[in-house]
Amino acid sequence: MNTSEVIRAEEIDYESLPANASLASQLMAGAFAGIMEHSVMFPIDALKTRIQSASSGAATSGLLSQISKISTAEGSLALWKGVQSVILGAGPAHAIYFATYEFSKSRLIDPEDYQTHQPFKTAVSGTFATIAADALMNPFDTIKQRMQLDTSSTMMNVARQIYQREGFSAFYYSYPTTIAMNIPFAAFNFVIYESSAKFFNPTNDYNPLIHCLCGGISGATCAAITTPLDCIKTVLQVRGSETVSLEVFKAADSFTKATKAIFKIRGWRGFWRGLKPRIIANMPATAISWTAYECAKHFFNPSN
């Protein structure tokens, strides 16, 4: 074996787990990334939910003033309500997410092409990943959204109330909208992340700072693009909450009804509610997710 062959044999591709990595390694890496992503920035996500579901005049004050007001009135842990639901769902969902992504990429991209830029196949792999993961995560996300509005209820009580009052289908009212939002989010996420990683880290070395930077760029861009769909998703997920007073929002049990309700009450600007906290939450969250995932891949790689 000549020198160049030795170098190629020792190369580590940090865009995917090694071929001999077990399914358990892939699942653990994804679960670790998901839990880190959703838990660290959870209070900002909770604030975004309140802004998107607030009455027309209640979402105009600044982020810091709203955080201060909520903490003073409801306690310092008010914005952490619902975190247990998202953590419970995020671990398994992100394990499926990244495992499906790695599996799809391994089937769509030839091993010798892994070091080349493959944006379309990467986007398709991300699409398959988000469809699989959101099928598991959607009920937990619905419970989380309700708990962010009604901070006095426990996770089990909220789940029981949704099931008894609205039926099992209520856990999936927002699933089509979630898919419509997360497919472009995931597609752009993987493409922007891997494209920026190729640019900033052409040698594919393990570099947490580069992974964090590229993840932040991807998260901020994707969050901005998909905010209108996130507003619709929030309306669908909180429609049965006791904090929702307007009948037009209570009756919004489909994508079309939720869209019309937002436009009727809030106009076009209503589709951009929560843009700032969504970007603030997703930029570090996506950076954390990618950095944690790359770290886990590095740890689980038997060559290290």
Tens digit of each residue's pLDDT, the chain (304 residues) = 443 433 333 333 333 444 445 666 667 776 777 777 777 778 888 888 888 887 655 555 567 777 778 778 887 788 888 888 888 888 888 788 878 888 888 888 887 776 677 778 888 888 898 899 999 999 999 999 999 888 777 899 999 999 999 999 999 999 999 898 888 887 788 889 988 988 998 887 888 899 999 999 999 999 999 999 999 999 999 988 888 888 999 999 899 999 999 999 999 999 999 999 899 888 988 888 788 778 777 776 655 5
Residue 175 has a pLDDT of: 93
Length of the chain, please? 304
Which phi and psi angles does 244 have, rounded to 5°? Answer: -85, 115
For the chain, what are the domain ranges?
22-53+71-300
Report how far residue 219's alpha carbon sits from residue 140's, in angstroms, rounded to the nearest whole number.
Answer: 21
- 65, two tokens: 């003033």
Calculate the alpha carbon distances from 220 to 124, 228, 278 in Å: 21, 14, 8
Residue 60 has a pLDDT of: 52
Residue 284 has a pLDDT of: 87
Contact 122, 190 (CB under 8 A): yes
- 35, two tokens: 């839990």
Q: Which of 253, 250, 258, 249 is nearest to 230 (CA)?
A: 258
Give the global pTM: 0.70
Residue 13 has a pLDDT of: 37
Contacts of 203 (CB under 8 A, 6+ apart): none
């619902």: which residue's tokens? Answer: 82
CATH class held by domain 22-53+71-300: mainly alpha
3-state SS class at 256: helix
Q: Which of 261, 218, 217, 221 is nearest to 52 (CA)?
A: 261
Q: Which of 84, 87, 97 is nearest to 30 (CA)?
A: 97
Calculate the alpha carbon distances from 271 to 52, 91, 224, 230, 250 in Å: 9, 29, 11, 8, 18
